[in-house]
Each structure stands twice: as structure tokens, then as C-alpha cells.
Structure 1
Amino acid sequence: MQEQLLDVAIVGGGPAGLNAALVLGRARKNVAVIDEGRPRNAVTRESHGFLTRDGISPSEFRRVAKEQIAAYPSVSFVADTAVSVAGADGHFQITTATGQSFASRKLLFAVGMKDQPLNIPGLTEVYGKSAFVCPYCDGWELRDQPLAVINRGAEVMHFAALISGWTDRFTICTNGPDELTEEQREELRRHRVPLYDAPIRSIVSNEGIVRQVVLEDGTAVSCSGIFFKPELAIGSELPRALGCKLTELGSVEADMLGKTNVPGVYSAGDAASRMHQVVAAASMGALAAAAMNNELNVEAWSRNG
């Protein structure tokens, strides 16, 4: 039996992959979305900042998305993990962990980012409940509350100014040398922002709600919420294996339409951007889908002319 050639294989079923599938389905393209069902934001109770879906849980977001995409029969969902990719523009070959094989003209990596192990004792227990990474996503819920910011270096200064829009009651814990200049420390003092550079011993919480950040020198920073900088890695090594260029931060290098340096290969969402928000990922997925659809239509027009 001749193998069916998909128009687009989408690796990753988060907001970017799902929105790409929606746009491509409406464009009458044959698409498979390959996703293992383990999203990074599964630890969070609610997603915010997406118009008409503000406060929705990640699982409900995906359920509604798949329900709406089901109206377009050319899109299928594969609950599996893509483990290898080969081929070139016009005929990529994707193999999954269970041995399924898919051939596709174009390829979209919407693989997201994944958290590296959290090496601060007690942080895992509060992550997604009272410890977060993005104030645009969760700052409203922690407005005017006493917070601990766990970060270091020049990013501390950017984040201090940013978080001040939600609360002026925050303490910076750098969990080791602060990597700041004396001028930067003086700026924090002028704004009356406490700064501690002792390593963090543990985070004390009750049912997921942080109570204190305890430092190795015995200092206890009382707070009811935390913002921290996570250590991230791309959600799959497949883009690198296929020859996609990566940025210094480990994400896929792509243009504003998601096009990578590898012909026929696109990337969207957190895997291709520092803007780690649901609405931004979905938008990138839509743009990449439109670009791929246009590429496919032009190629078909040329073949049939």
C-alpha cells in the first residue's frame, strides 16, 4: 500500500501546534498533530491573557481546541512522541515511539520548552500554585502581595521594574552572588528593595502556598508568592538533529513567519521565541500555518501548470 503523504506534520500539540492545525485544516490541508500530551504548563491551574479564554485551565484549553478543530476532517491527532525525523523539503519522514511512521511535505516544530529539574528544595511543591515565571500570566493574582523574586544579574534590574507594576512589596533573593554592579545595588536601595545573596536553603509552604524563603544564613523572607527564572531546554532534540539553527538560549532560530534555515521546516511557539505566553504561541502557530499553506499552494500551482 502506498504511504499517504501529509501536507504538514506538526510535532507538538500546545497552543502553537493547535492553532496551526486549525488554520491548516480550514485551508483544506492534510495534517497530523503528533503530541505526547505532557505540556509544560500542566502544573498551572489557569492560563491568562488569552482573549475569550482568560482563566481557562491548560487541559480545558486543549479540549476546546480539539473539539473545534474536529470540524475539519483533514486534521488528525496522534497521541505519541516523535522520536526521529529524516528527509528533506517535500518528503519528510517522522517516526514515533510506538513505531508509527508519517511522511509529510512540510514540517512544523511546535515542541515548546521544558523545565530543567528545580534545584531549590521546596520549589517543586509551590510551582504553578504560588510560584510562577511570568507576571503577565500570573501577576494579577499576586497583586499587592509580598513576593520573593529569585533571579540574579542584569535580569534582576529589568524584572524589578517590571514586577513593580503589580506590587511594591518584593524582595530579591539571588541564591548566590548577585552579579550586580554597585550602581545597580544602589538603584535597588533607592527603591527600598531588599536584596539577599545568600544561597537558598529551602522554601517553606502550606498546601502549595509559599510562606517563607529560608536562606543558608538563617534569614527567613516571608512572602505569599514567588517569581523565579526557570532553567529551560527545548522540548525536543529533533530540530537540532534535522539541522535547524538554534539561538544561544537553545530555541529554534526562525523568522517572523516561523521559517527556519532548513527548507520546508518551520517552528512556532515557545520553541521559537522568548515570549512564553499562550496567546503569543497561538499567534505564531497561525502565522506559520499561513506561510506553509502559501508555500504548498504555490508548489502545487507550479506542478499543475
Structure 2
Amino acid sequence: MRAVVIRGAGGPEVLSVQDVPDPVPAEGDVLIDVVAAGLNRADVQQRRGLYPPPAGASDIPGLEVSGRVADAGRSRFRVGDAVVALLSGGGYAEQVAVPAGQVVGAPDGVGLVEAAGLPETAATVWSNLVLQAGLAAGDDVLIHGASGGIGVMAIQVSLALSAVPHVTAGSAAKLDVARSLGVRTLINYRDEDFVARAKAATDGRGADVILDVVGAEYLARNIESLATGGRLVVIGLQGGTTAELNLGVLMGKRASVAGTTLRGRPSAEKAAILAAVEDRVWPLVASGAVRPFVDRTFPLAQAVEAHTYFDAGAHTGKILLTMD
């Protein structure tokens, strides 16, 4: 089969499409003929040598795919079923073998190519906003990186749960994406103080939940932005890994900070998260309340161009690789 291989740490030019051995399903795996794969920041970090795959995972990048079942094994699926899957690696390829619990039926209401942009974002958002932070109706939620795949999904899920999203992004065009989804508090972090804006938008209370992809650079300001009893969930480290934390402020607010990743979780945890996504998020997709935002698609042979486009930082929503 054809797959994208990383020849060494570096820029997009280290990617190449090569013929590699077909995957051999293990006991309990489902073999999928891939239709499309989502491009995520984790893939870029792996390419740069900063985020190696977990032990035992494929060196081929790609954490989410859509496709059709080629070998169902002993799973609940049948050959030919349209599915999506959450991976530890291996998605940039024509086939992938995945533990059955990390595979769910493709949701109604979207095409199979578009569906490739859903499993990683939906699992990340649901596990962090709902399962970790307990987001509920009426909560104010501050979402950083509003125009990326995670941000767009977080906005839609928040609105579907009757929470109130407030967002940050680095340009008017990116904030327009959030505006089109119904967000009212739109903060350009390049020239506005998101702490002041978040507090003003919540009558001085602050945010009940913050979903953060920046990390160290935002830690102190995120704590300042939290309401009493607020929950900060850090899921990215674009702004560094190390910062000082004023525990007095945190304790005074009776607030909490959690840091999570999805890729390295045990398969059983991923399966439980995907079961919740299938039960709670897929009906929202079918109804149109949640939908994938796809910026551009590239054929697998243009993986270098796809990563170059991602690195430029102007995209909104998901970038997909197709196996056409």
C-alpha cells in the first residue's frame, strides 16, 4: 500500500509517499480501507521530532480516518461498513488496522470524506469539555484557538449544550468563523486583553471552563480569567511547557487545572470516549447542530503541500488527505 513516511525531523519536505507493507490486523482489530485522513497538529509535531508515537504505534502519521471496513474480524461491523476511527498513528495510508473499540460507524448527515475530520476533534472536545470539565448548560466557556478544528468543534458542542462560548483567535478572518457559528464574544489576542474581555462578557465572574491549546504562555492569565470554581483544561503546548502558577489565586478561586492528551491513552479509554461520542455527538451531527468544517483537501501524494499549507497558519477548520 501507499503511505506517508517521515524520513527525519524537519519541515514538510521530510515527508514522502512510499510503498510500505500492508498492515496485518491483530486479534481484536478492524482493517479499514482508508478514504480520507485528518491532518492534526500532533502530526506536525511528530514530523518535527517533538511528539514521537506511543510505544507500539505506527510510525506513519495520522490520528483519524474515515473509510470502509475491509476485514471486520470479530467486531460488530461488516465488510463494507462506512466507519471512522481514532488512531495512535498510521492514518496517512491506504489501509490501517485499528482496535475495534476505536472504530465507530460514520455519522449520518455528512459525506465519508468530510467525516475524517470528526473523530479526533469530537473525541478531544467531548472528553475534555464534558467528561473532564463537566461543561453544562449556562456555563461560560473560553475557547482559545477558535478557528482550528478543535476550536470549531468546541464552539458547536458548547452551543449544542446551551453553554455560552467566548473565543480568541489571531485575525479578523478567523474570528469571522466563530461569528458565523453564533459566538458573540470575539477576542483578537494580538491586540486585546482576553482576561479583561472575558470578565466583561461574564459580568466580572470569569469563565466557568477554559479550553486551552497554548499552555505555559497563557497559564497565569487563564487562572485570572477563571470564575470561582472554574476549570482550566490544557490540551496543547503551543506557548511552551513551563510556567509559574500562583497557588494562592488558584485556591482562592477554588479552581482546578487539568492537563490531558488523547493519543497516548490506553485503547480502553479511547473506546469509552468514542462510545460517548457516538451516543452524544453523532446525533448532533445528524441534526446539523454539529458539522465538520473542512478548509481544504489534498490527495495523499500532496502530503508535503498539505503540511506546508498547515504550517502557514491561515487555514480555518480541518485539512484532509484523500486516498483518491
Higher relative contact order (CA 8 A, sep 6+): 1
TM-score (norm. length: structure 1): 0.27
In our comparison, the structure showing a higher alpha carbon Rg is: 1
TM-score (norm. length: structure 2): 0.26
The structure whose residues are more often helix, as a share, is 2
